[in-house]
Amino acid sequence: SADLSNCFIPGDGIGIEVVAAAIEVLKTVAKNNFELNITNFPWGTVFYKETGSYLPSDFLTTLKPFDAIPFDAVGAPDVPDHLSLWGLLLKMRSPLQLYANTRPIRCLTTPRLASVHPSALDWLLVRENSEGEYAGHGGRSHVGQTWEIATETSIYSRHGVERIMRFAFAAAQKRPRKQLTVVSKSNALRHGRVLWDEVATEVAAEFPDVHWDKELVDAMTIRMVQKPHSIDTVVGTNLHIGILSDLAAALAGSIGIAASSNLDPTRGWPSMFEPVHGSAFDIMGKGVANPIGAVCAAAEMMSWVGEERAAAGIMKAIESVCEIGLLTVDMGGKLNTMQVTEALCKALGS
């Protein structure tokens, strides 16, 4: 087993609460197995208020030597969301080349809707994480005047679309059903979406054993609810998968269980692992946040760094804790964050 050098960025709100859970679980799984070195970077809204910036200017050189970055959530009630998100999370994704975002979704308990059978909901959502609607291009002119204009330009490069398509087809190929749905909105949004569809067709030719189809994003929301068994791997743009993954997590039981891996598949930079959820202003400070999304993200991270046994152990602990109903309130249980974390560590044999 290799040593693992991690830096944590807990961020804000319940991010700080669930990151503590993920650290506990990682320490438990590391015991007698591998050396785990943890460095904590307190980048978040407190840091922003003290320094005027969410990240120090040398954050890239600071992060480069680490094997992986567990991150949690950023956002505070008294800072506009676009400042916190573009100050921290979105500021890191592009320069760290984290262009592939994977969001596995599985039912851990009874699904929310009768139409969703637990075995039908085992999906891998793949999000283009570096361009599209989140390219950060646009602006405002004539601010405050009647003829004020705001633009937010979506950018699709052939290079960017090709690399995420290839990543998604390869990911689908590794799964038992070898099935991929390419999501777009190419009926109304003509240019970038058509490039997206064209590239999908070209890349599909390299993966003849992957069954693939196309779905418009609006129809995809219907399909996720009404025909969940028809879905396996899904690829889409930054905004589309951002929205579909919240729906998928809610269908599977709770936003609190979903993990998100921000990957640099070339492995030139450390990849970043986080729960899908945000800092949850309505429950922060109460100690009731579901830690499972953050802990699942820790399992995804272990798998990425080659510690497959540790990853499988964490997932098994999550499954057993859910099976016996040791759940937080969002999943219909009565336990708090700390109690679920203790149950997870116990299941891991601490």
277, interface contact from ligand IPM, ligand NAD, none, CB < 5-8 Å by kind: ligand NAD
Which of 220, 276, 322, 327 touches ligand IPM (CB under 6 A)?
276
Residue 192: count of CB within 10 angstroms of its CB:
21
Instruction: Assess 271 for contact with ligand IPM (CB under 6 A).
Output: no
The total number of residues shown for the chain amounts to 350
Which of 97, 186, 237, 260 touches ligand IPM (CB under 6 A)?
260
Instruction: Assess 337 for contact with ligand IPM (CB under 6 A).
Output: no
- Which residue number, 236 or 278, has a Cβ lying nearer to ligand NAD? 278
Which string of b and e fits 207-235 if b means at least 16 CB within 10 Å?
beebebebbbbeebbeebeeebeebbbbb
- Shortest approach of ligand NAD to residue 294 CB, angstroms? 8
Which is nearest to 124 in space by CA: 178, 160, 202, 198?
178
Interface residues with ligand NAD (CB under 6 A) are 14, 18, 73-75, 81, 84-85, 89, 255-256, 274, 277-283, 289-290, 293, 330
Distance from C-alpha of 108 to C-alpha of 91, rounded to nearest angstrom? 32
281, interface contact from ligand IPM, ligand NAD, none, CB < 5-8 Å by kind: ligand NAD
293, interface contact from ligand IPM, ligand NAD, none, CB < 5-8 Å by kind: ligand NAD
336, interface contact from ligand NAD, ligand IPM, none, CB < 5-8 Å by kind: none
- Shortest approach of ligand NAD to residue 83 CB, angstroms? 10
DSSP secondary structure of 145-212 = STT-EEEEEEE--HHHHHHHHHHHHHHHHHSTT-EEEEEE-TTTS-HHHHHHHHHHHHHHTT-TTSEE
- Which residue number, 127 or 193, has a Cβ lying nearer to ligand IPM? 127
242, interface contact from ligand NAD, ligand IPM, none, CB < 5-8 Å by kind: ligand IPM
Contact between 77 and 13 under an 8 Å Cβ cutoff? The reply is: no
The DSSP H or E segment spanning 16 is helix 14-30
Residue 263: strand pairing partners: 100
- Shortest approach of ligand IPM to residue 330 CB, angstroms? 17
70, interface contact from ligand IPM, ligand NAD, none, CB < 5-8 Å by kind: none
Instruction: Assess 126 for contact with ligand IPM (CB under 6 A).
Output: no
Burial of 204 (0-12, 13-18, 19+ CB in 10 A): middle
- Which residue number, 261 or 303, has a Cβ lying nearer to ligand IPM? 261
Distance from C-alpha of 93 to C-alpha of 196, rounded to nearest angstrom? 21
Q: Supply 229's token pair.
A: 């068994």
- Which residue number, 71 or 207, has a Cβ lying nearer to ligand IPM? 71
Residue 235: strand pairing partners: 126, 182
Instruction: Assess 256 for contact with ligand IPM (CB under 6 A).
Output: no
| Site mask for ligand IPM (CB under 6 A), range 72-111, x = bound | -------------x----x---------------------
Burial of 35 (0-12, 13-18, 19+ CB in 10 A): exposed
- Which residue number, 73 or 168, has a Cβ lying nearer to ligand NAD? 73
How far, in Å, are 111, 290, 323 from residue 329 at the CA level?
A: 15, 8, 15
Instruction: Assess 242 for contact with ligand IPM (CB under 6 A).
Output: yes
The DSSP H or E segment spanning 26 is helix 14-30
Binding site for ligand IPM (CB under 6 A): 85, 90, 242, 260, 276, 278
